[in-house]
Amino acid sequence: MRQFLSYFTLLLAGSLLLTSCGLAPPAPVDEPETAAAGADAEKVIYLGAAVSETGKYSREGKDTRQGYGLWLDWVNNEYGGVQIDGERYRVELIMYDDEGDPDTAARLVEKLISEDQVDFLLGPYSSSLTQSTSAIAEKYGKIMIEGNGAAEPLFERGFRNLFAVLTPAGNYTRSALQLLAEQGAKSVVIAYEDTAFPTSVAEGAQRWAAEYGLEVLGVETYPVNVADVSGIMSKFKELEPDIFVGGGHFNDAVLFIRSAKELDFNPKAMVITVGPSNPTLIEEVGADAEYVIGPTQWEASMSYADDYLGTAAEYAARYQDMWGEPPTYQAAESTATALALHLAIEQAGSLDTDAVRTALRNLDVVTFYGPISFDEKGRNAAKPMGAIQIQNGEILVVAPTHAAVAELNYPAPAWKDR
Amino acid sequence: MTNGPPADKNGNETGKKARFPSLAPVHSLLAGWTGLALWLLLLLLLALYPYTGVSSLALLVGSQIFVLVTLASNWNLIGGMTGYVDFGHAVFFGVGAYIMAILVTGAPLLISPQWGFWQALPASGAAAALFALLIGLPTLRLKGPYFSIAMLGTLVAMREIVRVSRPITGGGIGLNLPPVLNRIGDYYLMLAIMGLVVSLIWWIQRSEFGQSLIAIREDEVGAEMRGINTTLHKIAAFMIAAFFTGVVGGFWAWQNTFIDPDGVFVETRTVEMVMMSMLGGLGTVWGPPLGAVAIYLLQNLLWSNLFEWHLLALGLLLVLIVLFMPEGILGTLGDRSSTSLGRLLARFGRNR
Amino acid sequence: MDQLSQALVSGLLLGGFYAIMVLGFSVIWGVMGVINLAHGEFLMIGAYLAWGLFRFFGIDPFASLALILPLMFLVGYLLQITLINRIVERPHLMTLLVTFGVSIALANLAKIVFTSDPRNVAVAYSGSFQFAGVTFPIVKTIIFAAALLIMGGLHLFLQRSRLGKSIRAAAQNKTAARIVGVDINRVYAITAGICIALTAAAGAMLSPTQAIFPFMGPPFTLKAVTITALGGLGRIPGALMGGLVLGVTEIFVATYVAGIGTNLGVATSFILLVLILVVRPQGLMGGLRPVDAEAD
């Protein structure tokens, strides 16, 4: 019996110890390397973000981190800190890796709010993680400003504390469809992955098609990780539309282009939501990516500029300098997210949540990323979506007109004639 | 189909084990009233824990661990005790989560008025249990891997069915639940559910019902011949496991405030349950909870130290666990000479 | 009519790919009773190998099979003697968990090595030709032909060669095979080598038709389970039939159901799996039996 008791005590003690370890906070990653010297006297703003470093969103998560990182480096080292009432505040950004997992993301945002006691939150990558984490922020009355969740349902919940600098998903195809309609396109077919973001894009596309007088001939959905879209493509081929709109993941862009060519489906324009604005697509798919049109939140060749990070091109150069690769639009919108918060704090002249929320609501600025001005739902209604087309292996902006650097090539020749 | 029942290894050849004394007597005691008493004590301590002035993060972490413990214990009832390796158990989690979301939002089905959380929670469980009855009647007749594969198929099929049923389920877009967060309430609710489930498993294991389940695992034909209504027993165990898995799914949907098919009908969630049960000790009462805590800690440990490599490490670890300690922590501690790791340790011991 | 023949052709071509994709899975299950949940990951590795050989050495994905087949045979052989042979005769829970562990490890290893940027092989001859009023995708037609060729070869090997006969003997009755002097472990290792090589070859052939990424495997594993249930274990004609049936079903549902056809096609394949297991646990073609006998 005594032996048993000692064993059991051991076991119990062990499990309690283990439990308490589990409750210990996970180690932070990517902590800013700002100097700690004289930290006592210094005024500091704490920002927090849970962004994927591993897991299914690791690629886009990296862009998001680097976008935030660029602003952080600039605001502390070059700009000299956020200015409130004549005083300079250094910024500390606490970032954790949410692994793309909702449980982990919830835990980390909870930790940022309740333990790290950050002043404001920056958003994670992906619409679905933004859905669940913004609910936590709303509950605690913390402002979450984000640049990587575009799905419309995010903004239909009446949240007061969620702000997004990116163009909402419904407007993704707007400038592309408008331009194509002007060029004489008459009809459109739409295929989209049935998750939140592509659905919003597709619903928006139908709205804009009606607006610009395009007839919608067919709408098809497909599930995540689909490996074959022959059914959709041969159906669309029969309909002989002018425009094909496809929305989903990067992988789907490859699949759409390959299947269209394989089945000799020849729309006069292919508009694909995610993929075309990423140079990897040209690298992998090669010449078949020519003429493909894609919406873009931002491109380095756009003509926007601000007094802080300069022109879009200067921003791109700075980014290249810091991270050794050109910025994707996910990176740019992340930087713009942080910049919008920065500007709102300076306008509010305080770190008070209510004051900053009001400042965000009233914000009306043009940045290197484009105009930023939030509507009553927290969306950036001011910013138009751009459109690019792949021409001779280059990604060139073709819309909106004031940012365009090339003429749209329309119609695209049939696969046989290329 | 035997997965080494480590719970009642009473054949302890004590003479051989001077160096590694057996824990077998501990097991039989833990399986009895002492075990329950200690469990209730632990629950009491956990119930007092929030009074020590902990942060809401600790409460959230607590409720997440309780979820894992409950899931592992539930899986163990059908997978460990009855020996039916359910490789799609997460389907009940998903069904529960969706029933909760549909009832409380009411939006897609236009159920009016919307249900409250407290009405919807048991409904989540009931729906999952009903689903278990429907799917279990045909699938529980299957043996060995065929049952596992049929359940895996059920999980994936349900994911796709939910995806195409957009008018009811919101489809791939998912459903937003009202953002009501109550960390302390969640903590106590999950603590209560966990306490109930593990105590229930403890009771089942001692009851005639539980003995019949174990008899089915050991020799189903023999059990049938001894007059055990195997179908009834299997279905009952399956439905109980499904009920609480559904409740946990409903709870999770409420806590996470957002669900979509790819978030709740996940193969890895099932495998997690299996891993936890196995690591702790299949078919034992206390093994799965222990395994759940261990896996949770392990994941966090790997994650915070290995970053990019942590899932790779987790995969390899899974392989190593299965190869070297298939009897789980409790089994390995209990009877070292009969387990792979025990033998390995013993060999090292001798070499030194 | 036009749409019908097009759907039939697309379905058969997809089915041909499914058949070659499932073969390795089905034979491993049939011969040693192991349900290989890492199946899709070997496919993914094959696709990445083809991509690497194409990108860095300019080798055509179909030509690269000459390198990929022997290399992956070796990988399968080694994996079998180091890992799988240890668990072959253990409870199936262990084989499921071990192969699942391998699949997590491989997918995440691929993510570290290749990053999660999607890849694709841009062969010059991608495109289509017209025949009898139906559009034939060139690459998929080649895959179909190659699949038939490989399956024919494997069938001959299993039926005629001495080694092939030992493999079949081991599948039918392990104990008897052992008694007559078959080295079971070696036979298993060779079987695994062949199967893994075949699976990787299927992946390599797939590389020009879709995006390659580290987490592409699991859907293929699930499809493989369905097709095996349809066609029976370890039988080449069964794999072909199962593959064709599933391919045609998916494409027909996708073509003839408006709006959600493609979703429904994917759903159908899994509903079929459950239905077949429940209604006819021995598989549609009666081949699931041998494992059942020694599953425990």
10 Å CB burial of residue A350 (0-12, 13-18, 19+) is middle
State residue A51 phi and psi, 5-degree precision. Answer: -130, 140
Instruction: Read off the pLDDT of residues A16-43 as tens digits, 9 standing for 90 and up.
Output: 444 444 444 444 444 444 444 444 457 8
**CA-to-CA distance for A117 and B128, rounded, in angstroms?**
39
Least confident of B24-38, B51-65, B144-158, C224-238: B24-38
State residue A90 phi and psi, 5-degree precision. Answer: -75, 150
Interface contact C215, partner A, CB < 8 A: yes
Q: B184-196 burial, b for 16+ CB within 10 Å, e for fewer?
A: eebbbbbbebbbe
| Chains with 3 or more CB pairs under 8 A to chain C | A, B
Report the pLDDT value the prediction gives residue C229, as an integer from 0 to 100.
84
Work out the pLDDT band at B348, boundaries 50, 70, 90. low
Residue B352 predicted with pLDDT over 60:
no
Does residue B250 lie within any of the structural domains? yes
**CA-to-CA distance for A219 and C181, rounded, in angstroms?**
62
Residue A14 predicted with pLDDT over 70:
no
Distance from CA of B162 to the nearest CA of C (A): 9
Report the pLDDT value the prediction gives residue C177, as an integer from 0 to 100.
83
Interface contact A240, partner C, CB < 8 A: no
pTM for the model: 0.87
Every domain of chain C and the residues it spans = 2-294
Select the more confidently predicted residue: B307 or C21. C21
ipTM score of complex: 0.88
Give mean pLDDT, residues B323-331. 79
Nearest beta carbon to residue B181 from set A7, A128, A139: A139
Residue B11 predicted with pLDDT over 70:
no
Report the pLDDT value the prediction gives residue C89, as an integer from 0 to 100.
81
Does residue B5 lie within any of the structural domains? no
Give mean pLDDT, residues A154-170. 90
Chain C CB contacts of B308 under 8 Å are 111-112
Give mean pLDDT, residues B225-244. 94
Chain B CB contacts of C39 under 8 Å are none
The residue ranges of chain C whose pLDDT is under 50 are 289-296
Residue A244 predicted with pLDDT over 90:
yes
Interface contact B341, partner C, CB < 8 A: no
| Inter-chain touch A231–C135, beta carbons under 8 Å | no
| Strands A144-146 and A120-122, bridge-based pairing | parallel
Chain A CB contacts of C266 under 8 Å are 223, 226
Report the pLDDT value the prediction gives residue B26, as an integer from 0 to 100.
58
Kindly give, in sequence order, each residue whose CB lies less than 8 Å from that of residue B339, ignoring residues fewer than 6 positions away. Answer: B4, B325, B326, B327, B331, B332
**CA-to-CA distance for A61 and A69, rounded, in angstroms?**
12
Chain C CB contacts of A286 under 8 Å are 122
Residue from A216, A228, A263, A274 to probe the interface with C (highest C Cβ count within 10 Å) = A228
Element (H, E) at B311: helix B310-324
CA angle A59, A64, A68 (to 5 degrees): 150
Least confident of A129-133, B23-27, C229-233: B23-27
Work out the pLDDT band at B336, boundaries 50, 70, 90. low
Distance from CA of A10 to the nearest CA of B (A): 12
Cβ contact A339:A308 at 8 Å: yes
Three-class secondary structure of residue A283 per DSSP = helix
Report the pLDDT value the prediction gives residue B29, as an integer from 0 to 100.
66
Report the pLDDT value the prediction gives residue A37, as an integer from 0 to 100.
43
Q: What is the 3-state secondary structure (H, E, C) of B182-217?
A: CHHHHHHHHHHHHHHHHHHHHHHHHCHHHHHHHHHH
Kindly give, in sequence order, each residue whose CB lies less than 8 Å from that of residue B306, ignoring residues fewer than 6 positions away. Answer: B313
Where in A214-356 does DSSP place strands (E)?
A: 215-222, 243-247, 269-272, 293-296, 305-306, 310-311
Report the pLDDT value the prediction gives residue C2, as an integer from 0 to 100.
80
Closest residue of chain C to A278, computed from CA coordinates: C117
Q: Quick count: other Cβ atoms within 10 Å of Cβ B53?
A: 7
Name the most confidently modeled range: A333-347, B329-343, C151-165.
Answer: A333-347
CA angle A390, A394, A396 (to 5 degrees): 65
Does residue B14 lie within any of the structural domains? no
Residue from A235, A238, A290, A325 to probe the interface with C (highest C Cβ count within 10 Å) = A235
Chain C CB contacts of B161 under 8 Å are 267, 271
Three-class secondary structure of residue C137 per DSSP = strand
Report the pLDDT value the prediction gives residue B24, as an integer from 0 to 100.
54
Token representation of residue A219? 């709408």
Cβ contact A96:A111 at 8 Å: yes
Closest residue of chain B to C289, computed from CA coordinates: B146
Closest residue of chain C to A279, computed from CA coordinates: C117
Report the pLDDT value the prediction gives residue A19, as an integer from 0 to 100.
45
Give mean pLDDT, residues B103-130. 82
Residue B15 predicted with pLDDT over 70:
no
Three-class secondary structure of residue A184 per DSSP = coil
Interface contact A417, partner C, CB < 8 A: no
Token representation of residue C291? 């494992």
Interface contact B211, partner A, CB < 8 A: no
Work out the pLDDT band at B25, boundaries 50, 70, 90. low
Residue A375 predicted with pLDDT over 80:
yes
DSSP B162: H
- A with C: how many residue pairs have Cβ under 8 Å apart? 126
CA distances, A41 to each of A37, A44, A87, A352 (Å)? 9, 10, 12, 20
Report the pLDDT value the prediction gives residue C88, as an integer from 0 to 100.
86
**CA-to-CA distance for A63 and A67, rounded, in angstroms?**
6
Report the pLDDT value the prediction gives residue A382, as an integer from 0 to 100.
84
Work out the pLDDT band at A57, boundaries 50, 70, 90. confident
Quickly list DSSP for C20-42: HHHHHHHHHHHHH----TTHHHH
Cβ contact C110:C223 at 8 Å: no
Instruction: Read off the pLDDT of residues A84-110 as tens digits, 9 standing for 90 and up.
Output: 988 999 999 999 988 888 888 999 999
Interface contact A115, partner B, CB < 8 A: yes
In order of start, what are the domains of chain A with their CATH numbers? 43-167+302-372 (3.40.50.2300), 171-296+385-417 (3.40.50.2300)
- Residue B191, domain extent: 19-351
Chain B CB contacts of C93 under 8 Å are 3, 79, 85, 148, 274, 278
Looking at chain C, list the stretches that DSSP marks H as alpha helix, in order from N- to C-terminal side. Answer: 2-32, 39-57, 65-79, 85-87, 92-114, 138-160, 162-172, 174-179, 184-206, 217-231, 236-256, 261-279, 289-294
Interface contact B336, partner A, CB < 8 A: no
| Inter-chain touch B174–A131, beta carbons under 8 Å | yes
Residue A172 predicted with pLDDT over 50:
yes
Report the pLDDT value the prediction gives residue A311, as an integer from 0 to 100.
92
Instruction: Read off the pLDDT of residues A287-320 as tens digits, 9 standing for 90 and up.
Output: 999 999 999 988 888 888 899 999 999 999 999 9
Chain B CB contacts of C102 under 8 Å are 315, 319
Cβ contact A120:A145 at 8 Å: yes
If one counts the domains in chain B, the total is: 1
Residue from A234, A416, A418 to probe the interface with C (highest C Cβ count within 10 Å) = A234
Report the pLDDT value the prediction gives residue A278, as an integer from 0 to 100.
83
Instruction: Read off the pLDDT of residues B276-294 as tens digits, 9 standing for 90 and up.
Output: 998 888 888 999 999 999 9
